[in-house]
């Protein structure tokens, strides 16, 4: 009798405990958190992985692949890692703004070794978590300290990298836009761009892609950049450059930095976000740099102090493994020369795939459409001009995966699949 009563009491107690847990779960503080929308590029990759077609192609991911469609680790990076390993360096914290030698070399790569602003101590730098982190630091700095007539608002080109708006909105900035891409002509709407920038309030903050515009691959010419510099000067706009592809766009780091260097040489106090993900293949190392050109050394000290105050509660101080790699590569004449050769190799492969794709469309398959934009655009991405319906057909009929805006990553094209891609595109556009 005692055992039965004890057993019943235990079961009752267990049931109450289970009910209490269930009740607690039902009133969870996170019960009303909504399901967020899926990332469009991640969705492309997941669909690609599930496809069993041996000819399938993933043209959504923005990461370089060699002609065997494999990730590529640069030889100069491998050599730098060996040097770092042999040196048995310590694991102490870096300062808030990062590895000073790396910052100096990265800034020199962007602004030029002969930059007057660098020599005069007018460029404030801080290591960042790749280009995304640099943009976020810049956004937070603008949110706290920008007092121009344009207000705490940043204007982005239409279209722009999908994460730009998220970064700046999370930095408590209002996000506006200006015309950039002409869908009809599949090129730059330079007249619309100038008109929009001229109509913005004076002293507005404008984001510019320094080279290899993502996602369109459409860049202004050097002559057009000079015009934009004059317009910015007249309107007293602040240029915030995003330079994620220096060297990777044309194969020449100096050529790709033209816009940044011209604006600074013309007296603009720009903001700049750099990344070494693409041009050194350091995707997972998250190596970047935020920098600001200021009026003089005294102003540089004040800005530097506020950037440290900003960064400290955000992530305290940055990691050192990636910056040490970049420091070794850019700090060694031999490794830097090897990097120049390798980044040109990567850029040239991308350029050659553009020409092969266009050649197959026009000559192999006799497409009557104008495909000149494939070779006139630059960098990793190409805005094909394909409609969402045509993109869907590529996926359903040919197992070719890309985002529905028609953007393709040229890095996913190889000499082994470029003809198949041309055949697929021709089939859905003829």
**Residue carrying structure tokens 């994620």:** 244
**Residues β-bridged to residue 209:** 242
Known catalytic membership, residue 234: no
- Residue among 161, 225, 339, 371 flagged as catalytic: 161
What's the Cα-to-Cα distance from 183 to each of 194, 223, 328, 330, 373, rounded to whole Å?
A: 17, 22, 43, 39, 11
* Cis peptide preceding 300, ω within 30 of 0: no
- Residue among 152, 235, 278, 395 flagged as catalytic: 278
Known catalytic membership, residue 18: no
- What would the two tokens of residue 324 be? 């040490």
- Residue among 196, 219, 242, 256 flagged as catalytic: 242
Contact 237, 205 (CB under 8 A): yes
Tell me the CA end-to-end span of the chain in Å, nearest whole number. Answer: 86
Known catalytic membership, residue 182: no
Q: How far apart are CA 221 and CA 10, in angstroms?
A: 80
- The DSSP call for residue 238 is E
Just list the catalytic residues.
161, 242, 278
């Amino acid at each position: 009798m005692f055992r039965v009563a004890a057993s019943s009491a235990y079961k009752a107690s267990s049931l109450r405990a289970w009910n209490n847990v269930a009740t607690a779960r039902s009133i969870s503080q996170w019960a009303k958190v909504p399901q967020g929308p899926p990332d469009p590029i991640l969705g492309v990759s997941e669909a690609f992985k599930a496809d069993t077609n041996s000819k399938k192609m993933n043209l959504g991911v923005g990461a370089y692949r060699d002609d065997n469609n494999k990730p590529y680790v640069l030889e100069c990076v491998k050599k730098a890692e060996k040097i770092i390993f042999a040196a048995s360096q310590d694991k102490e914290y870096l300062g808030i703004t990062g590895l000073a030698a790396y910052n100096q070399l990265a800034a020199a790569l962007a602004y030029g070794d002969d930059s007057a602003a660098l020599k005069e101590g007018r460029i404030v730098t801080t290591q960042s978590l790749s280009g995304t982190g640099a943009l976020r630091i810049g956004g937070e700095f603008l949110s706290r300290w920008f007092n121009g007539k344009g207000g705490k608002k940043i204007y982005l080109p239409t279209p722009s990298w999908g994460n730009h708006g998220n970064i700046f909105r999370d930095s408590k900035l209002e996000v506006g836009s200006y015309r950039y891409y002409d869908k009809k002509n599949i090129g730059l709407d330079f007249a619309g761009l100038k008109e929009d920038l001229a109509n913005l309030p004076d002293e507005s903050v404008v984001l510019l892609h320094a080279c290899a515009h993502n996602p369109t691959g459409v860049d202004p010419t050097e002559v057009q950049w000079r015009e934009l510099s004059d317009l910015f000067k007249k309107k007293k706009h602040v240029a915030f450059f995003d330079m994620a592809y220096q060297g990777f766009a044309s194969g020449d780091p100096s050529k790709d930095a033209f816009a940044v260097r011209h604006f600074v040489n013309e007296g603009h106090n720009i903001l700049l976000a750099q990344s070494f993900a693409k041009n050194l293949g350091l995707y997972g190392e998250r190596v970047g740099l935020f920098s600001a050109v200021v009026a003089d050394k005294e102003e540089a000290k004040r800005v530097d102090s506020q950037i440290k105050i900003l960064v400290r509660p955000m992530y305290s101080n940055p990691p050192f493994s990636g910056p040490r790699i970049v420091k070794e590569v850019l700090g060694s004449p031999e490794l830097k020369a090897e990097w120049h050769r390798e980044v040109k190799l990567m850029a040239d492969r991308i350029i050659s795939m553009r020409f092969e794709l266009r050649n197959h469309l026009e000559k192999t398959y006799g497409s009557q459409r104008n495909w000149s934009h494939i070779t006139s655009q630059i960098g990793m991405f190409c805005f094909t001009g394909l409609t969402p319906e045509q993109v869907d057909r590529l996926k359903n009929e040919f197992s070719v995966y890309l985002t529905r805006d028609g953007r393709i990553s040229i890095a996913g094209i190889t000499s082994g699949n470029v003809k198949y891609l041309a055949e697929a595109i021709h089939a859905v556009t003829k």
